[in-house]
Amino acid sequence: MKKIKNFKKIKLIVIWSIIIVYIFSMFVFFSGKYNNTKCKSIEITILDSSGIKLVGKQEILSLINKYTENKTIGYNFKAIKIYKLEESLNKNPYLESAEVYRASDGVLQVEVTQRRPILRIINKNGKSFYLGSDAVIIPFSENYSSYQIIANGNIAQNFEFASKDSLPILDKENKNHKIIYDLYTLANFINKNEFFLAQIEQIYVNDKNEFELIPRVGNHYVEFGTIENYEEKFANLKIFYKKALNKVGWDRYKKISVKYNNQIVGTYF
């Protein structure tokens, strides 16, 4: 009886050994087949290209060629080193994420998502940079444009950029970041408000470090003041736009002030 049990035990070990060897062999076979498959083409998809244009397909292709030393089409996937390529693309400051993989038809698939700027800032020295929705500072792109509000005027801050790993992040407690953080607060509110996103195209910082809003329609500007009670100021401004300007016309005023609490003052031309 004991010999029968030992025989069954040995038989079970042999069966499992065969299964493990088979699985390992198949893994080696298909890995080799995978790595020795040649790349037929590259397909680049920018998932959010309809509203943001920080990078284009040609720029992504140039980065791929740079990181792979032009060893893609016609080369085995083993030589392309997909994981390293994906890691390199993810360091690009304009990209929120990048995913690279091989499709079954031999196509190298590259899918990227761009960072979302909510504000373009032009400092008083003429240097531009973007402010992202996640409070990250993004370098300005010379080749592409992205639709967002512009902020300029008395803005001294400038930032240096190396890679995505070292992009500056706004610090609310940092006094040197105060103006930029206040601009971020305003831009974040405007971008989430359909009415004001359609109305406001520029935020100007005056010599008192107070804000003036420049609308898309009309010849007036809005004296906004500081960031204090900004939600209430926007609420009052919306009421004024809907109840006053719609009646007297958008070109009647040269200045609309919501600077002081619970007051809206319009100055005629």
Average pLDDT over residues 90-118: 91
Name the band, by pLDDT with cuts 50, 70 and 90, for residue 147.
confident
- Asked if the model's pLDDT at residue 228 lies above 90, the reply is yes
Provide the 10 A C-beta neighbour count for residue 166: 11
pLDDT, position 249: 66
- Asked if the model's pLDDT at residue 91 lies above 60, the reply is yes
Are the beta carbons of 99 and 85 closer than 8 angstroms? no
pLDDT, position 168: 84
**Mind listing the pLDDT tens digit for each residue in 152-203?**
999 998 887 765 567 888 888 888 889 999 999 999 999 999 999 999 999 9
Higher-confidence residue of 84 and 2: namely: 84
Name the band, by pLDDT with cuts 50, 70 and 90, for residue 212.
very high
The C-alpha atoms of residue 234 and residue 176 are separated, in whole angstroms, by: 26
What domains does the chain contain, in order, with CATH numbers? 41-114 (3.10.20), 117-268 (3.40.50.11690)
The C-alpha atoms of residue 195 and residue 208 are separated, in whole angstroms, by: 28
pLDDT, position 165: 60
pLDDT, position 5: 52
Average pLDDT over residues 57-85: 91
Higher-confidence residue of 7 and 108: namely: 108
Average pLDDT over residues 125-140: 91
pLDDT, position 33: 47
Are the beta carbons of 154 and 205 closer than 8 angstroms? yes
Are the beta carbons of 80 and 39 closer than 8 angstroms? yes
- Asked if the model's pLDDT at residue 151 lies above 60, the reply is yes
Task: List, in sequence order, every residue forming a beta bridge with 45; answer none if it has no partner.
Answer: 111
Average pLDDT over residues 241-256: 78
The C-alpha atoms of residue 56 and residue 59 are separated, in whole angstroms, by: 5
Are the beta carbons of 114 and 48 closer than 8 angstroms? yes
Name the band, by pLDDT with cuts 50, 70 and 90, for residue 27.
very low
Higher-confidence residue of 245 and 43: namely: 43
Do you know the residue count of the chain?
Answer: 269
The C-alpha atoms of residue 92 and residue 164 are separated, in whole angstroms, by: 6
